Structure 1
């Protein structure tokens, strides 16, 4: 099975510059506001936005569940961000590429799972949840 078989890809043209989008990741108070699917909120425990830096947080679901997360910022650049989602529950690599255009930035969100069984377990909801995450990012970018 290839990486393509274990990858979800979402793309969106966002009316913002790549640097504005990266700022929504770099600033923890902003990231906590928009990260996750609709209805989720976040509590950050550790946030070290640099290559090799850890990001530990709890996602609080709308149904009342708490989901512990441990991520590591693998690489950070002006047009690319790579995050490793670590741990025993669905390990994946999230790669975001940012391509500037006159209309804004084409964001490509590639989420590649390590194990086929993890991919299969989440394939019915991850594409929708990723779109909700991008909706929330766009709303954050429109805040004054």
Structure 2
């Protein structure tokens, strides 16, 4: 795995792996936290199964609309979610959940197909991934 295509962040969440997984597995909850600060989501297709499609429009703070299409390539309840983003920019996101004493250790690994694109979006992606996990924590506090 090349460091120039991969972004990695991790965090310990004070919720069970099942609760964290469920924040991905419920379209209603996922729509509230997916993406960086200020974005909202309009889900079109959400098929939570291996090979299932997830298509949605991400709406930016300025009202700009970004079409997204992804496929769930691995789903292990309370353990692992792998999402293949199969439109530009192409990447695979692996979320690994490990039970720890005070909750769940979450590892978030985003690997871009193209190193040039990865470096071009690095300044956006790194803070966006942290904001995404902040929003996940907020959603867990509300819904879990």
Name the TM tier (shorter chain).
over 0.9
**Structure 1, unpaired ranges of 5+:** none
Structure 1 stretches of 4+ with a deviation exceeding 2 A read 2-5
Cα deviation code 1:77-136 (max 9, x no counterpart): 03111000001x110000000011111111000000000121011011111000000000
- Give runs of aligned pairs for residues 79-90 of structure 1, distance below 5 A: 79-87=79-87, 89-90=88-89
C-alpha contact (below 8 Å) 2:72/2:82 kept by paired residues = yes
- Greater Cα offset, 4-13 or 105-114: 4-13
Q: CA deviation at 1:61?
A: 0.3
Q: CA deviation at 1:45?
A: 0.3
Task: Name the TM-score, length of structure 2 as normaliser.
Answer: 0.95
SS of residue matched to 1:106: strand
Cα distance in 2 for partners of 1:62, 1:10 equals 24
Cα distance in 2 for partners of 1:106, 1:24 equals 15
Residue 33, structure 1, aligned to residue 32, structure 2: yes
RMSD: 0.9
Cα distance in 1 for partners of 2:95, 2:43 equals 21
SS of residue matched to 1:143: helix
SS of residue matched to 1:63: coil
**Structure 2, unpaired ranges of 5+:** none
Q: How many residues align?
A: 142
C-alpha contact (below 8 Å) 2:4/2:119 kept by paired residues = no
- Give runs of aligned pairs for residues 14-25 of structure 1, distance below 5 A: 14-25=13-24
